[in-house]
Amino acid sequence: MVGTVLLVIHIAAGSVALPTAIIALITAKGGTYHIRAGRVYAIAMTVIFVTALPLAILGSNLFLALIALFSFYLVFAGWRFARNRHGHAQPIDWAAVAVMGLTGLGMWSYGAVLLLSGSAQWVTMVVFGSIAVALSAVDARFHTGRRASGKQRITRHLTNMLAGTIATVTAVLVVNVETDPVWLAWILPTIVITPLIVWWNVRIGRETPG
C-alpha cells in the first residue's frame, strides 16, 4: 500500500515536472512565467526525489536510487545558482557537490557490477556517472573561486536546470518507449539536448553583461 501511494505521487509529480520544464525553457529568462514555472518544476522534482528513494529502497533498486540522487542534484544546484547571486557557496552547496561526486563514483562502481553480470545498463551508469563527476568538479571549481556570479552564475543555473530537464525527458521516454539496446532510451535525450546546453552557454557568454 505504501509503495502504491508513493508511486502515484511520483507519477503525478512527473506529470507536473515535464510541462513546467518546457514552460521555463521557452519563456523569457528572468521573466515572471519563467520564474514561476521554474519554481513549480523544482518542487515537482523534489517530490519525485523524495518518493523515488523509498521506492528504490522498497524495491531494492540501487539503479533507481542512484538516478534519483543524480537527477535531484541537477535541479537543486540549478536552483541554488539562481538564488545565490553573490557566488558565495554555503555548506549546503558543498554537501550537494560532495553527494553528486560520490553518486558519480557509485554509478561507475555499479556499472562495473552490471557489466560483469551481463547487463547492458552498465552503459547508462558509466555515462551518467561521468556526467555526475564532471558536473560536481565544475561546480566545486566555481564555488572555490567564488566565480558563480554574473554570466557564470547564469550559465551554471542554465546548465544544471537543462540537465535536470534531460533527466525528466529521459524518465518519460524510458517509461513509454522500449528500445534495443535498453540503454538507448536512457542516453538518447542526453545526446540530443546536450548540444543545446552548449549552444545556450555560448550565447549567454556573448550576450549577457557580467
- Mean of the per-residue pLDDT values of the chain: 87
Distance of CA 193 to the CA centre of its chain: 13
Reply yes or no on whether the pLDDT at 201 is more than 90.
no
Summarised one tens digit per residue, pLDDT across range 96-155 is 999 999 999 999 999 999 999 999 999 999 999 999 999 999 889 888 876 656 677 778
Please report the pLDDT score of residue 210 as a whole number.
Answer: 44
Reply yes or no on whether the pLDDT at 5 is more than 80.
yes
Summarised one tens digit per residue, pLDDT across range 39-57 is 999 999 999 999 999 999 8
Summarised one tens digit per residue, pLDDT across range 15-40 is 898 899 889 888 887 788 988 998 99
The rounded radius of gyration (Å) of the Cα atoms in the chain is 17
Domain boundaries along the sequence of the chain: 2-207
